[in-house]
């Protein structure tokens, strides 16, 4: 879907703004401090539920205001969708989709897939593996219907298992967690590998346009040896 209209209220230095956007390219032009980056951050926040320059809601709410309000109109091939996000200084959020409340931020992310590119974006290449995992997970989230549920359950089980590790002395005591954790980890690893393979050729073709003298290849490396079962890895690390 394309974002064709954006309404901003009390976000950063913007009191009120109503922007009509092109479904193609849009250029924001203005003096320093006029709010260009704030508009980009408002779009990002509408799709992610959080700003990219600050994790504290109070810092992006306009001075002496209690909350910010963002609304957007999305144009798809067959229908139009309206979305809205309100967040107060305590971090409480209200999500509205097509006039109804009670929705989750994850639903906004499904409707507004986007990728932020900034000067700090090189962390995808020269940063730690967590940045590349996050990049792959974002793609899997938009391509696999069951990914978010599996990913959330995996995070929960890992947290519980790590807490249990401090209290047990034998691997058998961890089997209840591992029985659920292992298939989730292997499924998520499979999704990551499939998504990596799917975008590898597009990435290589794009790089070829800018660096024709180079030939780039991409490969996915999971967090354990290819010939080893994840269950064996968990048991060995006890």
CATH topology of domain 2-111: Rossmann fold (3.40.50)
Is 36 assigned a ligand-binding role in the annotation?
yes
Alpha carbon distance 32, 11 (integer Å)? 17
Say how many Å lie between the first and final Cα of the chain, rounded.
47
181-184: Cβ within 8 A, 24+ apart: 181/154, 181/157, 181/234, 182/230, 182/231, 182/234, 184/150, 184/153, 184/154, 184/157
For position 237, what pLDDT does the model report? 64
Q: Does the annotation flag 31 for ligand binding?
A: yes
User: Annotated binding residue at 33?
Assistant: yes
Q: Give the model's pLDDT for residue 238.
A: 60
Residue 190 is assigned to a ligand binding site: no
Q: Please tell me whether the overall predicted TM-score, pTM, comes out greater than 0.85 for this model.
A: no
Provide the pLDDT for residue 91: 87
Q: Are 60 and 12 in contact (CB under 8 A)?
A: yes
Does residue 87 have a known ligand-binding role? no
Per-residue tens of pLDDT for the chain, all 238 residues:
899 999 999 999 999 999 999 988 899 998 888 889 899 999 999 998 888 877 777 789 998 899 999 999 999 888 899 999 999 988 899 999 999 998 988 899 889 888 887 776 678 878 888 889 998 999 999 889 899 999 999 999 989 888 887 777 676 777 788 888 889 999 999 999 999 999 988 888 888 888 888 888 888 888 787 777 777 777 776 6
128 is in an annotated binding site: no
- pLDDT of 70 reads 97
The total number of residues shown for the chain amounts to 238
- The pLDDT, as a whole number, for residue 218 is 82
Residue 52 · residue 44 · CB < 8 Å: yes
Does residue 37 have a known ligand-binding role?
yes
The per-residue pLDDT for 33 is 84
> Which residues make up the CATH 3.40.50.300 domain(s) of the chain?
2-111
106 is in an annotated binding site: no
């Amino acid at each position: 879907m394309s974002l064709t209209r954006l309404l901003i209220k009390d976000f950063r230095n913007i009191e009120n703004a109503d922007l009509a956007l092109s479904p193609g390219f849009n250029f924001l032009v203005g003096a320093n401090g006029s709010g260009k980056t704030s508009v980009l951050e408002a779009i990002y926040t509408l799709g992610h539920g959080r700003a990219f320059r600050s994790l504290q809601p109070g810092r992006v709410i306009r001075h002496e205001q209690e909350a910010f309000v963002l609304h957007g109109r999305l144009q798809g091939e067959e229908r139009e969708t309206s979305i809205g996000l309100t967040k107060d200084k305590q971090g409480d959020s209200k999500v509205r989709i097509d006039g109804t409340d009670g929705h989750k931020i994850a639903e906004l992310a499904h409707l507004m897939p986007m990728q932020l590119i900034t000067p700090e974006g090189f962390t995808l290449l020269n940063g730690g593996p967590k940045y590349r995992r996050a990049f792959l997970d974002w793609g899997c989230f938009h391509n696999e219907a069951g990914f978010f549920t599996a990913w959330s359950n995996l995070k929960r089980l890992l947290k519980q298992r790590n807490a249990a590790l401090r209290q047990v002395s034998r691997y058998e005591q961890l089997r209840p967690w591992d029985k659920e954790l292992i298939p989730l980890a292997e499924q998520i690893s499979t999704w990551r590998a499939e998504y990596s393979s799917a975008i590898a050729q597009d990435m290589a073709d794009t790089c070829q346009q800018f660096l024709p003298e180079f030939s780039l290849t991409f490969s996915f490396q999971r967090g354990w040896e290819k010939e080893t079962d994840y269950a064996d890895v968990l048991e060995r690390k006890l």
